[in-house]
């Protein structure tokens, strides 16, 4: 046992020397996580968009239309940049990217209200940025609903009906919709946690791949195997220890310091979070070592892995439901450790779930961990055999 620990310690020292001498690996595993966590996090520092530029095309120019315009402009989501009577002007502004939409108030707006004949308001939204257009649509609908409510209340008051009775007439069935967990409907609180996990996973993947590929490129893997006494477990874990320690440290840093800087809520149990994160990191390490063992040059490993970050995030189920993906894509997604992790992560960190609530995801991660270790074990065993046969 003591001899194995001594060997692991020597392998750890060897790996640290490699990292300190190789600026690429050093930047990837030690500098990149710190830089990208604050850089990408700062993009969503404000978390949600406010004062979205908007325009009004007012054909009516009446007291009622001006009241509606003031109500719209009073919302935090919308900033009215222009009021015009020419829709072509508003259309040009949309195409130029100066506004995100406009509302058209018809000429008979006030007269239709007074005659109770009904009126239609047309809103034109730039849906190329659908998140913003959804927010605009929600804000406009809520404001128009408040405007209608004020008109109806005024009518009932004129009939001598008191406020409570009038309120019942207006909304015989009322809805009270309350956001849970991400109560501010914030983009930042949704995206920053996912980005931090992606940074953690991909920098770990890149650094290990570069390390193994460098060993292959300079034919030093034979020396590494020899130092590990050709014992497969020592070969695997001697290469893994430093990366597990540094990635675990960054995970702790991300979800304490970075979360605090960007004011992202952490509602879960720290022990549950640490447990599933450890499963993720170990699985990613075994995956990385296995994949990297097939690369003979660092540049080839980097070129291949550069293409993986965005697809891995897209098919993880975080931004788009797995059930809505093609069957083949779902199969691929189930083989990626971040897929079950993201599901468990959201439930633990944002919803306060415990171990019992995420048992399927934990089982999924454990299966991936065992499979990745087995394929890596036999891959290292095959490489060891090849080295021994060359002697």
Q: What is the pLDDT of residues 40-85, one digit of tens each?
A: 877 777 666 778 899 999 998 888 889 989 999 888 888 999 888 8
Contact (Cβ atoms closer than 8 angstroms) between residue 53 and residue 79: yes
182 falls within a domain? no
Tokens (6 digits) for 322: 């797995």
Tokens (6 digits) for 79: 């900033």
Tokens (6 digits) for 32: 């990149």
Q: What percent of the chain has pLDDT over 90?
A: 19
Same domain, 138 and 85: yes
CA dihedral defined by 128, 129, 131, 137, rounded to 10 degrees? -60
Same domain, 381 and 250: yes
**Is the confidence at residue 246, as pLDDT, over 90?**
yes
Contact (Cβ atoms closer than 8 angstroms) between residue 80 and residue 54: yes
Same domain, 56 and 201: no
Tokens (6 digits) for 179: 């956001």
* d(C-alpha 322, C-alpha 310), whole Å: 16
Same domain, 153 and 282: no
pLDDT in tens, 284-319: 999 989 988 888 887 777 777 777 777 888 888 887
Strands 101-105 and 122-125: antiparallel
Domain extent, residue 359, equals 2-45+187-389
Query: Which residues are 103's β-sheet partners?
Result: 56, 123
User: How many independent structural domains does the chain possess?
Assistant: 2
Tokens (6 digits) for 7: 């060997």
Q: What percent of the chain has pLDDT over 70?
A: 89
Same domain, 196 and 223: yes
285 falls within a domain? yes
Q: What is the pLDDT averaged over residues 147-175?
A: 64
- Compute CA 266 distance to the chain's CA centroid, rounded to the nearest angstrom: 15
Which residue carries 């960007």 as its tokens?
Answer: 262
- Compute CA 275 distance to the chain's CA centroid, rounded to the nearest angstrom: 21
What is the model's pLDDT at position 133? Answer: 81
176 falls within a domain? no
What is the model's pLDDT at position 272? Answer: 92
Same domain, 199 and 273: yes
Last residue of a domain, one of 170, 195, 221: 170
19 falls within a domain? yes
Q: How confident is the model at residue 282 (pLDDT cuts 50, 70, 90)?
A: very high
What totals of helices (H) and strands (E) does the chain contain, helices first? 18, 4
From the list 241, 250, 246, the residue with the least C-alpha distance to 12 is: 241
87 falls within a domain? yes
- Extended strands (E) in the chain: 52-58, 78-84, 101-105, 122-125
From the list 180, 214, 153, the residue with the least C-alpha distance to 346 is: 180
What is the model's pLDDT at position 363? Answer: 95
* d(C-alpha 57, C-alpha 124), whole Å: 10
pTM (2 decimals)? 0.79
375 falls within a domain? yes
Last residue of a domain, one of 108, 141, 170: 170
From the list 167, 166, 236, 234, the residue with the least C-alpha distance to 208 is: 236
Q: How confident is the model at residue 340 (pLDDT cuts 50, 70, 90)?
A: very high
CATH code for the domain in which residue 146 is found: 3.40.1710.10
Q: Phi, psi at residue 302, to the nearest 5°?
A: -65, -45
DSSP three-state, residue 31: helix
Q: Phi, psi at residue 58, to the nearest 5°?
A: -110, 100
* d(C-alpha 175, C-alpha 357), whole Å: 30
Same domain, 119 and 37: no
Same domain, 111 and 127: yes
What is the model's pLDDT at position 375? Answer: 95
For residue 269, what is the DSSP state? -
What is the model's pLDDT at position 175? Answer: 60
Contact (Cβ atoms closer than 8 angstroms) between residue 139 and residue 77: yes
Which residue would you say has higher pLDDT here, 376 or 117?
A: 376
Same domain, 33 and 98: no
CA dihedral over 65, 71, 72, 73, signed as positive or negative: positive
178 falls within a domain? no
Last residue of a domain, one of 112, 139, 170: 170
DSSP three-state, residue 262: coil
Same domain, 290 and 314: yes
pLDDT in tens, 125-146: 888 877 788 888 888 888 888 8
Same domain, 162 and 197: no
Same domain, 218 and 357: yes
* d(C-alpha 139, C-alpha 235), whole Å: 59
pLDDT in tens, 167-212: 655 555 556 666 666 666 677 777 888 888 888 988 988 898 888 8
Q: Of 103-112, 114-123, 150-159, 306-315, which gets the smallest average pLDDT?
A: 150-159
179 falls within a domain? no
């Amino acid at each position: 046992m003591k001899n194995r620990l001594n060997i692991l310690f020597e392998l750890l020292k060897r790996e640290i020397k490699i990292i300190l001498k190789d600026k690429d690996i050093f930047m990837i595993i030690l500098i990149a996580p710190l830089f990208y966590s604050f850089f990408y996090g700062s993009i969503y520092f404000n978390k949600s968009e406010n004062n979205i530029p908007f325009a009004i095309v007012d054909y009516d120019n009446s007291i009622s239309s001006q009241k509606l315009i003031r109500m719209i402009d009073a919302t935090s989501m919308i900033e009215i940049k222009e009021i015009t009577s020419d829709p072509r002007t508003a259309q040009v502004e949309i195409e130029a990217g100066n506004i995100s939409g406009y509302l058209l108030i018809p000429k008979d707006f006030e007269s239709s209200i007074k005659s109770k004949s009904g009126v239609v308001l047309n809103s034109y939204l730039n849906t190329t940025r659908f998140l913003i257009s959804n927010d605009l649509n929600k804000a406009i609908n809520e404001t128009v609903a408040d405007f209608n409510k004020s008109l109806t209340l005024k009518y009932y008051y004129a009939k001598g009906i008191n406020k409570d009775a009038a309120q019942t007439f207006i909304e015989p069935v009322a809805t009270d919709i309350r956001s849970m967990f991400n109560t501010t409907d914030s983009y930042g609180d949704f995206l920053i946690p996912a980005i931090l996990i992606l940074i953690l996973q991909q920098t770990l993947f890149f650094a290990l791949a570069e390390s193994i590929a460098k060993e292959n490129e300079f034919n030093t893997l034979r020396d590494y195997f020899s130092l590990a006494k050709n014992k497969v477990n020592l070969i695997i874990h001697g290469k893994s220890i430093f990366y597990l320690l540094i990635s675990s440290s960054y995970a702790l840093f991300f979800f304490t310091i970075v979360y605090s800087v960007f004011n992202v809520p952490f509602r879960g149990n720290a022990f549950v979070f640490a447990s599933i994160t450890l499963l993720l990191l170990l699985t990613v390490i075994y995956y990385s070592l296995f994949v990297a063992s097939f690369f003979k040059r660092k540049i080839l490993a980097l070129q291949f892995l550069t293409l993986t970050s965005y697809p891995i995030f897209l098919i993880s189920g975080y931004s788009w439901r797995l059930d809505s993906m093609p069957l083949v894509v779902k199969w691929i997604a189930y083989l990626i450790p971040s897929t079950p992790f993201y599901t468990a992560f959201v439930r633990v960190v944002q919803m306060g779930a415990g171990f019992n609530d995420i048992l399927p995801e934990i089982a999924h991660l454990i299966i991936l961990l065992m499979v990745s270790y087995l394929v890596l074990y036999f891959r290292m065993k095959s490489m060891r055999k090849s080295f021994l046969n060359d002697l």
